[in-house]
Amino acid sequence: MYNAKILIDRLAADHTLAADEYLYILSNTDAQTLAYINNVAAEVCASVFHKSIYIRGLIEIGNVCRNDCLYCGIRHSNSHVERYRLNRDDILAACGEGYALGLRTFVLQGGEEGGKASDDFITGVVREVKELYPDAAVTLSLGEKDTDTYRRFREAGADRYLLRHETFNAAHYSSLHPASMSRDNRLRCLADLKRLGFQTGTGIMVGSPGQTAAHIVEDILFIGRLRPEMIGIGPFIPHRDTPFGTCRAGSLEQTLLLLSIFRLMFPHALIPSTTALATLSPGGREAGILAGANVVMPNLSPASVRRKYNLYNGKACTGSESVEGLKSLEESFRAIGYKIDFGRGDYAG
- State which of residues 236, 262, 266, 333 lies at the interface with ligand 5AD (CB under 6 A): 236
Shortest CB 141 distance to ligand 5AD, Å: 6
Q: Which residues contact 205 (CB under 8 A, 6 or more apart)?
A: 71, 164, 166, 167, 211, 234, 235, 236, 250, 276
**Of the listed pieces 42-50, 129-137, 153-161, 233-241, which binds ligand 5AD according to CB under 6 A?**
233-241
Q: Which of residues 192-231 bind ligand 5AD (CB under 6 A)?
A: 205
Closest CA to 269 of 234, 300, 224, 235: 224
Q: What angle do CA 309, 319, 107 make, to 5 degrees?
A: 50
Min dist. Cβ of residue 239 to ligand 5AD (A): 5
- Which residue pairs from 140-143 have beta carbons closer than 8 angstroms and sit at least 24 positions apart in sequence? 140/107, 140/108, 140/109, 141/107, 141/108, 141/109, 141/110, 141/201, 142/108, 142/109, 142/110, 142/112, 142/113, 143/65, 143/67, 143/111, 143/112
Q: Minimal distance in Å, beta carbon 75 to ligand 5AD?
A: 9
Q: Estimate to the nearest angstrom the gap between the alpha carbon of 337 and the chain centroid.
A: 23
Q: Which of 22, 168, 262, 312 binds ligand 5AD (CB under 6 A)?
A: 312
Whichever of 233 and 264 has its CB closer to ligand 5AD, that residue is 233
Minimum CB–partner distance for residue 201 and ligand 5AD (Å): 10
130 vs 315, beta carbon nearer ligand 5AD: 315
State in angstroms the smallest separation of the CB of 311 from ligand 5AD.
4
Q: How many residues bind ligand 5AD (CB under 6 A)?
A: 12
Applying the rule CB under 6 A, the residues between 155 and 184 that interact with ligand 5AD are 164, 166
What does the alpha-carbon distance between residue 70 and residue 174 come to, in Å, rounded to a whole number? 10
CB 275 within 8 A of CB 297: yes
* Separation of alpha carbons 16 and 6, rounded Å: 13
* 71 binding ligand 5AD? (CB under 6 A): yes
For helices 147-156 and 183-195, what crossing angle results, to 10°? 30
Which segment (40-48, 54-62, 187-195, 234-242) binds ligand 5AD by CB under 6 A? 234-242
Distance in angstroms (rounded) separating the CA atoms of residues 73 and 239: 6
Q: For the purposes of burial, counting CB atoms within 10 Å of the CB of 170, is it exposed (0-12), middle (13-18) or buried (19 or more)?
A: middle
Q: Applying CB under 6 A, which part among 22-30, 57-65, 113-121, 236-244 lies near ligand 5AD?
A: 236-244
- Count the alpha carbons within 13 Å of 338 in the hemisphere toward its beta carbon: 32
Does the footprint of ligand 5AD cover residue 234 (CB under 6 A)? yes
Q: Which is nearer to ligand 5AD, 113 or 166 (CB)?
A: 166
Q: What does the alpha-carbon distance between residue 181 and residue 203 come to, in Å, rounded to a whole number? A: 17
Site residues (CB under 6 A) for ligand 5AD, limited to 258-287: 276
- Between 314 and 337, whose beta carbon lies closer to ligand 5AD? 314
User: Of 163 and 290, which CB lies nearer to ligand 5AD in the complex structure?
Assistant: 163
Nearest-approach distance from CB 17 to ligand 5AD, in angstroms: 25
- Between CA 346 and CA 28 the distance in angstroms is 35
Closer residue to ligand 5AD, CB minimum distance, 67 or 123: 67
Residues at the interface with ligand 5AD (CB under 6 A): 71-72, 164, 166, 205, 234, 236-237, 239, 276, 311-312
